[in-house]
Copies of this chain bind each other. A is one copy, B any other.
Amino acid sequence: MKNTFGNNVSVTIFGESHGNAIGVVIDGLAPGVDVDENYINKLLELRRPAEAISTSRKEADKFVIESGVFEGKTTGTPICILIPNEDTRSKDYSQTRWLARPSHADYTSNCKYHGYEDFRGGGHFSGRITAGLVAAGGIILPALNKKGIMIGTHIKKCAGISDRDFSDNLIGDIESLYEKKFAVLDAAVEEQMKQAIISAKNNGNSVGGILETAITGIDAGVGEPWFDTVEGVLSHAVFSVPGIKGIEFGAGFGLADMYGSESNDSFCYEGEKVVTKTNNSGGINGGITNGMPIVFRCAVRPTPTLSLEQNTVDLQKKQNAVLNSKGRHDPCIVHRARIVVDCITAITVCDMMTGRYGTDWLAEI
């Protein structure tokens, strides 16, 4: 499916950066789930540009729940959330219409849609579309929490500066992240990262980073063999977040340099529960959860839009050209992308669990 994801609980997203509205339809979510508009707003706020280190575009993200919620709870039928576009500066695009921004979707969408695409501000490929995913997460995440499932993402690395790892107090770590606009576990590195971002911005440049996500509270035995492995389905979902170019589970690429005797996670009993002493598998064996926290990391490339002059092509004149981009843009999207990763992860987990335990798994009955 192009803009729909999920088998049992699915999301469909739509909209363009400078169109009328963007939005999301959530289908298959159980009836009776609490819908707290304040919480949705809280998550949307975590995605919104942060002063100094983000674009100056103001996105109020005032959303309207058009369907699927009745008397404050989900009905079980599709939930459409619409987010009208507001600050769509009526800019003159005639200068840059045909100058494909390097590493952006301008050229590829032009090839795919033959010039009919809404090119303004990245159109349907704008990161703005992720606001719909965050709104969906604003309903699903608290419902998962009630079932004992916690999901959290921190900035493991940004502009070459690293955060500390998740601690043994994983739930505490995760809870703390939702209170932070800039999601690092080690408060000491926050300022360094921000300064590196501002420095890049002042040079008309941009930086990337690595996000690390943990999911805790999922039983052993969830996931499917072969094609719908937990890794396969999560990676499919997570690559929908713009700018993500890599994903690894557990020790990931580090496994390439280990011996089996180092990488294997020994089982042992902790009371009646089977646990592993290490978690190099990232909570997944044979594509199926083993009851340990699921841990993965995503590589986020530097934002492709720069103020620096760049070489490119003019697709209309069919000749080489030089691009000077003057639009508002983000020198880094890592800190904004983290809540999007949390939310797409929540949607995917909800789908997997609903498949395993049935359509009423999240229902309050």
Contact = CB atoms under 8 A, between A and B. Distances in A.
Interface string A102-130: 11110111011110111000011100010
Interface string A51-88: 00000000000001111101001111111101000000
Contacts of A100: 267, 274
Given A255-B300, A289-B108, A306-B261, A267 B313 contact: yes
A306 B264 contact: yes
Interface string A227-260: 1110111011111101011111111111111111
A281 B31 contact: no
A20 interface: yes
A208 interface: yes
A209 interface: yes
A193 interface: no
Contact of A302 (B66, B221, B255, B272): B255
B67 A14 contact: yes
A226 interface: yes
A111 to B, nearest CB: 3
A355 interface: yes
A225 B365 CA distance: 20
A205 interface: yes
B2 A27 contact: yes
Contact of A227 (B5, B223, B255): B5
Interface string A215-226: 000011111111
Interface stretch (A40-48, A167-175, A356-364): A356-364
A299 interface: yes
Contact of A3 (B13, B78, B222, B265): B78
Copies, count: 4
A142 interface: no
A345 interface: no
Contact of A75 (B113, B208, B231): B113
A230 to B, nearest CB: 9
Given A3-B27, A67-B19, A246 B245 contact: no
A345 to B, nearest CB: 14
Given A12-B12, A220-B108, A253-B253, A245 B274 contact: no
A297 to B, nearest CB: 8
22 contacts: A1-B228, A14-B66, A14-B68, A15-B78, A16-B68, A31-B117, A32-B113, A74-B116, A76-B112, A105-B287, A124-B225, A129-B226, A200-B260, A208-B258, A208-B263, A235-B239, A245-B255, A248-B253, A255-B301, A258-B301, A261-B308, A356-B358
Contacts of A276: 102
A210 to B, nearest CB: 5
A268 interface: yes
The 4 tightest CB contacts between A and B, nearest first, are A105-B286, A246-B248, A111-B221, A206-B260
A27 B15 contact: no
A30 to B, nearest CB: 9
A160 interface: yes
Contacts of A240: 226-227, 229, 232, 287
Given A239-B287, A248-B253, 10 more contacts: A15-B80, A31-B113, A31-B114, A68-B124, A76-B112, A77-B118, A80-B82, A112-B221, A208-B257, A246-B247
